[in-house]
């Protein structure tokens, strides 16, 4: 819970990290999260291993043992999908604010202050970090960027929001808001589902801020493919037109 010291409100930021076969990057990513400067506010890291087969689960347990009270590690009974891992992590989070963090190195935890500031200022309840608002980014796949813009435009048509990057990993929420949502998607449908359900709550204030992006190639471990793009159109339709 938030506490006040010297007249200033302090919060705990829960960083929810779904993990699936990220042995190559998990330790580096966790160190970056630990090093992220959010002032006098506290962090807790919630690692949820989704049935990894490369030893990531043991790394997560080791990290929790090395940082007791800061890192918590949970194991899914089997590979259930990113959305299911996120639901578990959100359920286990105890902080005042929750942010989603992928276990690779595509998104930079050093930008947490940029995401957090509108919430601390009392201006926002949810903040999306947009890769398309002039932040620096690695030059990679043209058709991926086109697809992301198509998905965001279609989502905006149904939600009446004017987002520039609905599919971004970096979404930060006041904890009571994200915990109040009934989320169902097990795989990569989390992004359109959470966006659609937030849009149905008129009093929620959503902000966007620019972030950097260091995307991976498929050789480096990127998991999203064209089938996920087709599924995204279905998820956007489903979660906006049906509950």
Mean pLDDT of 231-236: 83
Torsion, Cα of 144, 80, 45, 92 (10° steps): 130
Query: How many Cβ atoms are within 10 Å of 103's Cβ, its own excluded?
Result: 28
Alpha carbon distance 20, 60 (integer Å): 11
Q: Residues of the chain with pLDDT > 90: what percent?
A: 72
Query: Which candidate, 20, 43, 41, 18, places its Cα nearest to that of 32?
Result: 43
CB 210 within 8 A of CB 130: yes
Q: List pLDDT tens digits, range 160-191.
A: 999 999 999 999 999 999 999 999 988 878 99
Mean pLDDT of 185-213: 93
Query: Which candidate, 156, 202, 158, 197, places its Cα nearest to that of 178?
Result: 197
Mean pLDDT of 24-30: 97
- Top pLDDT among 41 and 231 is at 41
Alpha carbon distance 102, 180 (integer Å): 22
Q: pTM for this one? A: 0.89
Q: Is the pLDDT of residue 51 over 70?
A: yes
- Top pLDDT among 40 and 214 is at 40
Alpha carbon distance 68, 110 (integer Å): 22
Q: Is the pLDDT of residue 102 over 70?
A: yes
């Amino acid at each position: 819970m938030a506490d006040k010291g010297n007249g200033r409100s302090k919060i705990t930021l829960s960083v929810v990290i779904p993990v699936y076969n990220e042995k190559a990057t998990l330790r580096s990513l966790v160190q970056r999260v630990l090093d992220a400067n959010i002032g006098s506010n506290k962090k807790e890291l919630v690692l949820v291993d989704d049935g990894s087969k490369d030893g990531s689960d043991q790394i997560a347990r080791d990290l929790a043992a090395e940082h007791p009270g800061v890192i918590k590690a949970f194991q899914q009974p089997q590979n259930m999908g990113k959305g299911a891992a996120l639901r578990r992590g959100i359920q286990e989070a105890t902080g005042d604010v929750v942010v989603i963090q992928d276990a690779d190195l595509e998104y930079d935890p050093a930008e947490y202050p940029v995401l957090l500031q509108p919430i601390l200022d009392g201006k926002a309840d949810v903040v999306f970090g947009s890769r398309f608002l002039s932040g620096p980014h690695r030059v990679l796949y043209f058709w991926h960027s086109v697809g992301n813009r198509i998905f965001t435009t279609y989502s905006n048509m149904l939600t009446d929001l004017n987002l520039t990057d609905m599919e971004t990993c970096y979404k930060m929420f006041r904890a009571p808001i994200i915990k109040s949502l009934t989320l169902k998607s097990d795989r990569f449908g989390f992004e359109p589902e959470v966006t659609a359900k937030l849009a149905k709550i008129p009093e929620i204030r959503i902000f966007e801020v620019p972030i950097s992006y260091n995307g991976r190639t498929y050789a480096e471990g990127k998991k999203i493919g064209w089938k996920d793009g087709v599924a995204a159109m279905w998820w956007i339709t489903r979660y906006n037109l049906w509950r």
